[in-house]
Amino acid sequence: MKPVRLLAGTALSAVTFAGGVAAANHELPLGWDFGGRQPATASVPPRPKQAVHAIDTTVADPFIASGVAVGRNASLYSSSGTGPAALNVPAATAGSPEAFIDPEQFPGGTLTDGVTITEAQGMNALARIQDNLARVGLTMRDVLSLRVYMDNPPGAERMDFAGFNRAYRQFFANVNLQTQETILQRRGTGAPAPPVVVNPVRPSRTALEVATLPVAGWLVEIEAVARYGA
């Protein structure tokens, strides 16, 4: 049985609950507060209800946070593991990886321009996370942390980490934190285009390769932790 393992080079997600008041003259690290209309730099420990993402503030386009500090009295929401919806049936065989391509994202369920099946399933699953959050009054802007489980595509020896990262960029980490400009993203090898959701947030994140997932054909399952606004 294939062991569960963290992919080398993947930052371990951390959501730290804090609430202290910074002592005078202390040199505290800066990060990003994504809670307002535009990202703003902030220091830890966070204020009550505030979340500070641990990200180097000199970098315009970071990928993920190394952790998130959450102030006291913050209300949090944790999703269950959510995978892609079987939206491509009967065009594809039920239980096959292709059954979990979203025809709204890829017309006719056809992958073009080098889009991989993991990338397509990742986009589908992230759209379902978006739906899950919307049902409780939250958006992708409120996400603090993600945990991602991936199985190998058929015939591959490893999970398609690069493909999932392209899917991730369609929903997160696609705004330049210094200029506030939207960063165009590629689907597969296609030309850069506007992302599905324009979102400056860089959550903390863990990616795990697993032997199998609970639904036949799933290659991706995602959990999210989000915060209700102040």
pLDDT digits (tens, 9 = 90+) for 79-90: 999 999 999 999
pLDDT digits (tens, 9 = 90+) for 72-129: 999 999 999 999 999 999 999 999 999 999 999 999 999 999 999 999 999 999 999 9
Q: Is 207 left (phi over 0), alpha (psi -120 to 50) or beta?
A: beta
| pLDDT over threshold 60, residue 141 | yes
pLDDT digits (tens, 9 = 90+) for 191-202: 999 999 999 999
* Whole-angstrom distance, CA of residue 44 vs CA of residue 52: 7
Q: What is the CATH number of domain 5-9+75-227?
A: 3.30.1330.40
Mean pLDDT of the chain, nearest integer: 90
Strand order in the sheet with 51-53: 15-17, 68-70, 51-53, 30-33, 40-43
User: Which pLDDT belongs to residue 17?
Assistant: 39
Neighbour tally for 191: CB within 10 Å = 8
- How much is the average pLDDT of 152-169? 97
Helix or strand holding residue 166 (H, E): helix 161-169
* Whole-angstrom distance, CA of residue 182 vs CA of residue 195: 8
DSSP string, 13-54: P-EEE--PPPPTT----EEEE-SSSS-EEEESSPPTT-EEE-
User: Which pLDDT belongs to residue 10?
Assistant: 40
User: Which pLDDT belongs to residue 6?
Assistant: 42
The one-letter amino acid code at 99 reads A
| pLDDT over threshold 60, residue 183 | yes
User: Which pLDDT belongs to residue 229?
Assistant: 84
pTM of the predicted model as reported, rounded to 2 decimal places: 0.89
User: Which pLDDT belongs to residue 28?
Assistant: 74
Q: What percentage of the chain exceeds 90 in pLDDT?
A: 85
Task: Answer for the pair 150, 4: CB distance below 8 angstroms, yes or no.
Answer: no
Closest CA to 228 of 159, 164, 136, 97: 136
- C-alpha 112: how far from its chain's center? 23
User: Which pLDDT belongs to residue 128?
Assistant: 98
pLDDT digits (tens, 9 = 90+) for 25-75: 345 789 999 999 899 999 999 999 999 999 999 999 999 999 999 999 999
The one-letter amino acid code at 47 reads R
Listed in sequence order, the residues at least 6 apart from 76 whose beta carbon sits closer than 8 Å to its beta carbon are: 70, 144, 225, 226, 227, 228
| pLDDT over threshold 80, residue 3 | no
